[in-house]
Amino acid sequence: MTSIEDTIAAIATPHGRGGIAVIRVSGPQALFVAQTLTNTTPTPRKAYFKKFVLNDEVLDEGLLLYFEGPNSYTGEDTIELQGHGGNVVPERVLSAVLSIDGVRQAEPGEFTRRAFLNNKMDLTAAEAVEDLISAGSQSAAKAALASLEGAFAKNLYELSDKITNFRVRLEGCLDFPEEHEDFYESGKTDLELDAIEELAAKTLQVAKQGVKLNEGAKIVLSGAPNAGKSSLLNALAGTDKAIVTNIPGTTRDVLTANIEIKGVPVVITDTAGIRDTPSDEIEAIGIQKAIDELQKADLVLFMIDGSNPPAEAIETFSKVKEFETNENRIIVVISKSDKGICKETENLLKEAPFKDLTKITTSTKNENGLNELKQELSKALGIVPIEGVFIARRRHLTYLEQAYEYIVRAKDIIQSGDLVLCAHEIREAQDYLGNITGKVTSDEILGKIFSTFCIGK
């Protein structure tokens, strides 16, 4: 059984060759570990150059730092042994630390979990630590840092404070008739609920953008074989990711490229052309993988070779529609415009099922239409300017959406004069907000959150 009373240790830097490696130790035995390995009782926040020794064997040498609790990352006594990087030396030092009675290997995210449990940060900031480490773009890193510094929490606490003040006044209406007249009958309840809903909607909108920055968006290229999917992938990625030939069915497997659109990380996936009669078993497997990717897509670029009669376009599109029924998430890309657009393709695009879809004409040879396509991708993905955006996770969005629904219900109920039910709805909304910050949580939720962290974090 692990306990927050244990002293924990881990390597906090990546494994492999490097300039330094940091072994972090946190808990009641941290100072004893420093004394044991360096024969020194360190002063807090002072660096010491020492040899790390156990049983008269020199393991390494480097810097010793001591942070006395509660003025440390975890809120506990913490030491760092900063020695040489590599695959062997840091492990030797860590093994020596773990051999000391009362010290055990840290679990993933346990240092940050202790920081949360010791009130050094709320849950949004704790999660932002991992999001900052794994940020896929500069914009995502900036947004994660904003959450780490409290931008997300500030919005949530402001919203929660407004709800608390509203609940106090509402409860007063139930107990004191003069308060009922001043607050409910005067219409102040409506005004305050309007302000609460407005702030909740704003927070929800920014959180949705934060989730995009955190998770990235997934765009899938689909269409008949030889429609130009691989060429477009290479053009958007700025490198030759895919093999491009005039032979239909060249792409047999799923290929991906990571790009940024207005600061948001985007994964573009090139898939095998979908058709009923694959040329062989390998292409059949590729088609099944293409279908799997379609089911996970945020946006589908359906490609048509504009220079040739679109013999398989309608058949292929009908298959795409089996897995992506929302036409707002499909953009038709007419490729190879440098060769001219044939009459059959022009006529096809004026008819169902293509006539009402967004269409972009492109050429990867002369880069015609690529900027227009990127603008359309930005619009379709709902990408907004990132200023003021904080990082967010899918669980945050779920709780915010539930809180918002309860706030809207409270607004509807207050019109009927049922103050008791309104108070219940608004309390439920506040509890969902507490699940985000960690004010209302469970060990199971914490376990899932921190299990995704690095061992040394």
Residues 144 and 276 in one domain: no
Q: What is the CATH number of the domain that holds 413?
A: 1.20.120.430
The verdict on residue 95 lying in a domain is: yes
Considering only CA atoms, which of 260, 252, 265, 257 is closest in space to residue 234? 257
Tokens of 360: 């972009």
228-249, pLDDT tens digit by residue?
Answer: 888 888 888 876 544 343 434 4
Average pLDDT for 442-456: 61
The winner for highest mean pLDDT among 99-113, 208-222, 301-315, 426-440 is 99-113
Mean pLDDT of the 72-83 span: 96
**Does a structural domain hold residue 385?**
no
Instruction: Tell me the CATH number at 283.
Output: 3.40.50.300
- In this prediction, residue 115 carries a pLDDT of 92
Our count of domains for the chain comes to: 3
Residue 126 lies in a domain: no
Q: Which of 232, 234, 267, 230 is nearest to 246 (CA)?
A: 230
Of 70, 85, 118, the last residue of a domain is 118
Domain assignment present for residue 61? The answer is yes
Specify if 456 maps to a domain. Answer: no
Give the pLDDT of residue 456.
65
Confidence (pLDDT) at 243: 39
For residues 67 and 182, state if they share a domain: no
Instruction: Report pLDDT for 210.
Output: 87
Q: Is residue 12 part of a domain?
A: yes
| Same domain membership, residue 223 and residue 342 | yes
20 & 112 share domain: yes
Whether the CB-CB separation of 300 and 220 falls below 8 Å is answered with yes
Tell me, yes or no, whether 195 and 229 share the same domain: no
| Same domain? 199 vs 222 | no
Residue 30 belongs to some domain of the structure: yes
Nearest residue to 389 (alpha-carbon basis) of 138, 128, 213, 262: 213
CA dist., res. 295 & res. 289, Å (int): 10
Assess whether 404 and 295 both reside in one domain.
no
Query: pLDDT tens digit string along 114-157?
Result: 999 998 988 888 888 888 888 877 778 888 888 888 899 999 99
Which residue type, as a one-letter code, is found at position 35? Q
pLDDT at 249: 44
Are both 49 and 190 inside the same structural domain?
no
Q: Output the pLDDT for position 411.
A: 92
How does pLDDT run across 345-402, given as a tens digit for each residue?
Answer: 888 888 888 888 999 999 888 888 888 988 888 888 877 665 678 888 889 999 999 9
Tell me phi and psi for residue 311, to 5 degrees. -60, -40
Of 380, 406, 441, which closes a domain? 380
- Closest to 353 in 3D by CA, of 322, 380, 379: 322
Residues 314 and 249 in one domain: yes
**Beta-ladder partners of 24:** 10, 80
Q: Are 279 and 325 in the same domain?
A: yes
Of 38-52, 85-99, 119-133, the poorest mean pLDDT is in 119-133
For position 40, what pLDDT does the model report?
94
pLDDT tens, position by position, 170-199 = 888 877 767 666 777 778 888 999 999 999
Compute the distance between CA of residue 284 and CA of residue 340 in angstroms, rounded to an integer. Answer: 32
Instruction: Tell me whether residue 1 is in a domain.
Output: no
The 10s digit of each residue's pLDDT in 407-417 is 999 999 988 88
Residues 222 and 309 in one domain: yes
Cis peptide bond prior to 309, omega within 30° of 0: no
303: domain range?
Answer: 218-380
Residues 15 and 110 in one domain: yes
Beta bridge partners of 305: 335
3-class SS at 13? coil
- Per-chain mean pLDDT for the chain: 84
Compute the distance between CA of residue 264 and CA of residue 136 in angstroms, rounded to an integer: 9
Please give the model's pTM, rounded to 2 decimal places: 0.69
Mark out the alpha helices in 229-342 (DSSP H runs): 229-237, 281-294, 313-323
pLDDT in the model for residue 278? 55
Q: What does the CA dihedral 90, 93, 95, 97 come to, rounded to 10 degrees?
A: -130
Cα Rg for the chain, rounded, in angstroms? Answer: 29
| Residue 276 confidence (pLDDT) above 60 | no
Q: Where are the beta strands (DSSP E) in 192-283?
A: 217-223, 255-261, 264-270
